[in-house]
Structure 1
């Protein structure tokens, strides 16, 4: 990325980023710029008032020994009028810049978030969570940081033009001498961009890495604590944090040299102008008022130079942040949808897989020519050894990812032909790892939908969760803590199951979703599902004999292929590998007793 900056120039890239903001918010930019131009023009008017007062009030007072009251009132009125109008310009400039900056940040964050939702799971699996958080947060803030000084810089350009014109009209020689500071400013800025851009690029990368490490540590807090890895995690975080500190320190040192240089160059110009101006006044080649005006204008010109420096100083970090966020917005691979719809109510859906193949790594196919059908209202158990592709199949059926080959049909319609939202309205997936929000029981089940409490309780009853929820201090209004920390693993799974059941899906997929409950409770849950808790079809990833025996049909998956289908009893007789698998699981795993 640094090489790319070197090719096209950070300054040019920075102005392109600002062009995006100006095109999106033209009216706010215009308002703030007009305020800044008003401020700049009135600031230059101060110099004219000062020069006029020097020639018409101050010097005559020295000659006459007194100041006329009318002239004094005129000078005070001029200064007050200029000050009031300048204050109006400051308010308009700052208000417009702030509104424009925060609106662009909000717009970009929403765009990045919408893109996250559009992109398939395969894309998310290639990008760490910490990086995604950084793209939506620090990268967005960095991208639009130059908006704050932008109106000021644009407005002060007008100030500079007016000031330079007035300087040239006052005294051409002094003006030319004073304006020699501009080439020096350009050279200083070029040096700053060259030194700062690589550091800003690295700093943004390190912020993403730091966020990723922090997210992993917090997410895996239980593993870290129970295995005593606190010191190692601290060192891992510390290494990146120290590198980020060092990079920011180096960038800060460069900025610390750049800002004073910008401030000093106009002051040097003022000293030169005053020295030359005194000589020209003594020679009769210039008026004292003109020298005062030009010297004051040079101090005014220093402010536009500094404001432009503030703008340019933000460009390296802004360009890096924008390109990192824009990389998300330009990412391809979002899922395509059709326009087909499915029945909203009725009997269970018919699921059919035809020649489905999928691979995370093209050289290592995970699923090969998978074919099976779940008839409406039937329960099918999916059984297979670890890494045989069962959970991947549930992701394919839920269309979290699309198959590389083959078709998955729901009621005869390819999932890729369904309109957006149709599959979510028809199908519900309950994964093994139950995720709960830091919300109430009701909030975790309804997820904001308008669902009556009697339906919530019915879903809890079917999930065998009614008893422990009723025993909670506030019942449905009890907050569960982050990730449901106040509940046992089995209780979290049952809340997750109730969340799916309350939506009355026509196809319910359980990906080992009752692994943390004891076999007796699991049997009651499955029996409730079969006996009317849901009228939909049921696809269950299962290991326990009791669970498998409740299925109408069993699909044995091995090596990414369906090797046998039939009832549990039929497969025990004719499929030795299946019998060995389920018997081994039954003998080697003691029942899991969940907390109350």
Structure 2
């Protein structure tokens, strides 16, 4: 259960600081709004006592004009405060979401896998807005209500200490009620937020897995999952409703009792001539505003916990990003990458190492292939090179500098990575190839021709402007892979990593793609992870991995005669091709 005391207010301040002057100005307007609201009430005393009861009717236009001016000021301030709250809320939500998104993009593979993807979406959408609400609305409103209380008590002090003591008694009653009811209501609100989050995640994941649900005929099962989670949310809402009703049952009779007592006491005082009718009516309204301010402060103490719980969730994710992202930057190309006694195992099974004391050197400007049986560590090596995961032991050096000491963005600009199941945007072909990189049409076309996908794109209804759907659903597996390859080639990277990037292509298309790739990547570093050994016949260096260790290194001919694991892989590959 989140504990709000763990939330770092300095951490929240970073979202206020960029616009602190606007925050301060908005708070000033809110306090002016308080004064104007009290003035609207105060003017009524003079209208009643001086004009109506004092029969000074010539003063009526003056007081009516004053009332109108004060009321117009109130409307202007009301509009201005609403405008600044909305503006600051949107800007703050943008700052929080940008900070969170930046952190998510830097999270390790381990941290990403520990959290459901839909949960990140919920954090980004719901929690970022809750934090913005706290900083731009709830907290300023709390200060505003506190100002109301202090100001009204100051006014009451001019009328006599009896009413001040009665008001302090009212404060003490609310404090006692708050002490016993606020934690209960706060806990219920937090549980509802968690259940609502779970329901939102379930809905998003259900929509994402629609094809699988339909193909396996599990529609009823999916409905039942939704029904079960909705019932869990409903029970929490019902429990909160009962607790909120209990709170109302305790506070409402007290509020109305105070009103009745004030009417009786004030009315008697007017009859006795101790106070004027105007003073009585204004005091009655002030008491009503005071009670309302107490109630709002009471609600504020509970509402803010919801936002602080959201802040804590965001802070925990952002805190997972290592404070040091590396600072080393190098102008020239990298000459070699060295794996030095690298160990790695995944959290699910620490006893089984994926990489075991692995050492080898990757020379630059060559075509390097990694082969081995599934689970041998090939994709893990690729993930380490793109800084998704880090070794449990040993280190990776690029030109004798530990990879973790390289500035991350600087390092990643040198690399393009194409995986077996590439992610594609639900956008146009052109947008998926450029992926935010400004590029001329001729460069895009060249990259597509190199990836053997240009002719197919030309046949599409809108060519490069054709929309390919969610995750490229309108394309075949091979077309998605070639589109991702074109995306990588457009960047002409110093290091190109292909992780089963042509596995969905037929043999002839794959042969043409690899032949073109060899031509345009001559003298550049290309790292290939492949099960089809036909793609690496002409590799300059083949590194054979077996159970997390290097079983052999050399070219195709050398390994075929000297490395038994490689010979076995070749035999298996030939059997597959023959069967096909």
Under a length normalisation based on structure 2, what TM-score does the superposition of the two structures give? 0.90
Structure 2 residue 319 is the aligned partner of structure 1 residue 318:
no
Structure 2 residue 342 is the aligned partner of structure 1 residue 353:
no
1:199-218 matches, within 5 Å, as 199-218=188-207
- The structure-2 alpha-carbon separation of the partners of 1:414 and 1:149, relative to structure 1 and needing over 3 Å to count, comes to closer
1:476-555 matches, within 5 Å, as 476-533=464-521, 535-555=523-543
Distance 2:536 2:16 in 1: 62
Q: Is the 8 A contact 1:281 1:288 kept in 2?
A: yes
SS in 1 for 2:408: coil
Deviations 1:428-458 (A, max 9, x none): 2111112111222221111122222222222
SS in 2 for 1:573: helix
1:58-69 matches, within 5 Å, as 58-61=52-55, 68-69=56-57
Structure 2 residue 41 is the aligned partner of structure 1 residue 47:
yes
Q: Is the 8 A contact 1:370 1:560 kept in 2?
A: yes
Structure 2 residue 23 is the aligned partner of structure 1 residue 29:
yes
1:186 corresponds to: 175
- The structure-2 alpha-carbon separation of the partners of 1:203 and 1:534, relative to structure 1 and needing over 3 Å to count, comes to farther
Distance 2:387 2:14 in 1: 35
Task: Give the C-alpha shift of residue 590 in structure 1.
Answer: 7.5
2:144 corresponds to: 155
1:458-473 matches, within 5 Å, as 458-473=446-461
Which of these residues, 213, 237, 254, is aligned with residue 248 of structure 1?
237
Q: Is the 8 A contact 1:354 1:408 kept in 2?
A: yes
Distance 1:104 1:272 in 2: 45
2:425 corresponds to: 437
Task: Give the C-alpha shift of residue 15 in structure 1.
Answer: 8.8
1:89-488 matches, within 5 Å, as 89-146=77-134, 147-174=136-163, 176-177=165-166, 180-255=169-244, 258=247, 265-333=254-322, 336-343=325-332, 350-361=336-347, 362-410=350-398, 413-488=401-476
Task: Give the C-alpha shift of residue 326 in structure 1.
Answer: 1.4
Q: Is the 8 A contact 2:336 2:363 kept in 1?
A: yes
Q: Is the 8 A contact 2:369 2:539 kept in 1?
A: yes
Which of these residues, 60, 73, 79, is aligned with residue 61 of structure 2?
73
SS in 1 for 2:543: strand
Task: Give the C-alpha shift of residue 284 in structure 1.
Answer: 4.2
Task: Give the C-alpha shift of residue 152 in structure 1.
Answer: 3.7
Distance 1:420 1:545 in 2: 32
SS in 2 for 1:99: helix
Distance 1:483 1:225 in 2: 18
- The structure-2 alpha-carbon separation of the partners of 1:252 and 1:15, relative to structure 1 and needing over 3 Å to count, comes to farther
SS in 2 for 1:380: strand
- The structure-2 alpha-carbon separation of the partners of 1:353 and 1:150, relative to structure 1 and needing over 3 Å to count, comes to closer
- The structure-2 alpha-carbon separation of the partners of 1:359 and 1:269, relative to structure 1 and needing over 3 Å to count, comes to same
- The structure-2 alpha-carbon separation of the partners of 1:306 and 1:566, relative to structure 1 and needing over 3 Å to count, comes to same
Unaligned runs of 5+ in 2: none
Task: Give the C-alpha shift of residue 175 in structure 1.
Answer: 5.2
Distance 1:524 1:21 in 2: 53
Distance 2:293 2:497 in 1: 64
1:65 corresponds to: none
Deviations 1:490-524 (A, max 9, x none): 00000111111111122221111111000111111
Q: Is the 8 A contact 1:552 1:567 kept in 2?
A: yes
Structure 2 residue 76 is the aligned partner of structure 1 residue 88:
yes
Under a length normalisation based on structure 1, what TM-score does the superposition of the two structures give? 0.88
